[in-house]
Amino acid sequence: MPWCRGPALTATSAGTTWMQEILTLLFSLGDARPAKTIPNWERAPWLEQIYCREALRDTGSPRLLTTHLPAPVLAPALQRSKAKVIYVARNPKDVAVSFYHFHHLAKFLPDPSSFDAFLTQFLEGTVHYGSWFEHVKGWLGQRHLLDILYVTYEELHQDLRGTAQRLSSFLGCPLAPGTLAALEQHCSFSAMRDNAMANYSLIPAEIMDHSQGRFMRKGVVGDWRSHFSPEQNALFNRRYQEEMGDTELPAQWPM
């Protein structure tokens, strides 16, 4: 495929699985078969996974990679590469809620004792992958240094078709007739929840305890409102203002 000269890297603080699916459909020009037959971790391997080296050998071109790594780790190499980077961010309050529930499934993460305790750790940046604030600020700081497109989870919700068009023009990827309709259908929450190649149900129970809930949990905007107490919300807003007050963001999240 001549349209994308380097790899496409999806760097995310959230919205990872959704973006992997969208890019799979864009890369396949709307053919859902790869997304229905190949697990997402093979279609868009994680840079930080040990098996990545083997997985990379078999991926075609353009290559699609995924990471949660922070910008300082990757930016120097990316600046010397032809990679196109797509950074996905989500309202951090919804990230905290989603990540809290994920901790119940993921056996490789510590058991969160309570939402309140987890929220404290989230705000202190002592959760897996560190501080959300540092992560987002780090990748936003690359806007003039990398070939990078910022996308929010909320934009995907509001206008999946329009965001997919923006992604295709950023990647220089042609849109075949029918691609957007196929993408909208296949990348809907319900279709992905039922797709074993995207919903992580193939991961063994020792790694993800599926009896504790589904990875494809709710997929909504604003679920934090049903989890945060007024005190937790006030604390979060204070901390957010301290950390992000001067930052130019890709979205104004309702706080």
Q: Which residues are catalytic?
A: 68
212 CB contacts (<8 Å, ≥6 apart)?
104, 105
The dihedral over CA atoms of 82, 52, 103, 225, expressed in degrees to the nearest 10, equals 20
- Binding ligand A3P (rule: CB under 6 A), the pick from 40, 91, 98, 168 is 98
- Please state the closest distance from residue 251 (CB atom) to ligand A3P, in A: 16
Q: Answer yes or no: are the C-beta atoms of 70 and 130 closer than 8 Å.
A: yes
Between the two ends of the chain, the Cα-to-Cα distance in Å is 42
192 binds ligand A3P (CB under 6 A): yes
Q: Give the residue with the Cβ less far from ligand A3P, 16 or 121.
A: 16
Determine the interface stretch with ligand A3P among 77-85, 129-137, 186-194, 246-254 (rule: CB under 6 A).
Answer: 186-194
- Please state the closest distance from residue 37 (CB atom) to ligand A3P, in A: 18
170 binds ligand A3P (CB under 6 A): no
Per CB under 6 A, contacts with ligand A3P among 5-64 are 12, 14-18
The alpha carbon of residue 71 and the mean position of all alpha carbons in its chain are separated, in whole angstroms, by: 15
Q: Report the alpha-carbon angle 232-233-239, nearest 5.
A: 90
- Please state the closest distance from residue 2 (CB atom) to ligand A3P, in A: 29
The residue number whose beta carbon is nearest to ligand A3P equals 219
Q: Give the residue with the Cβ less far from ligand A3P, 17 or 28.
A: 17
Q: How many residues bind ligand A3P (CB under 6 A)?
A: 18
- Please state the closest distance from residue 40 (CB atom) to ligand A3P, in A: 9
Q: Give the residue with the Cβ less far from ligand A3P, 68 or 81.
A: 68
- The binding track of 205-224 with respect to ligand A3P, each residue x by CB under 6 A or -, is -----------xxxx---x-
Binding-site ranges for ligand A3P (CB under 6 A): 12, 14-18, 94, 98, 101, 187-189, 192, 216-219, 223
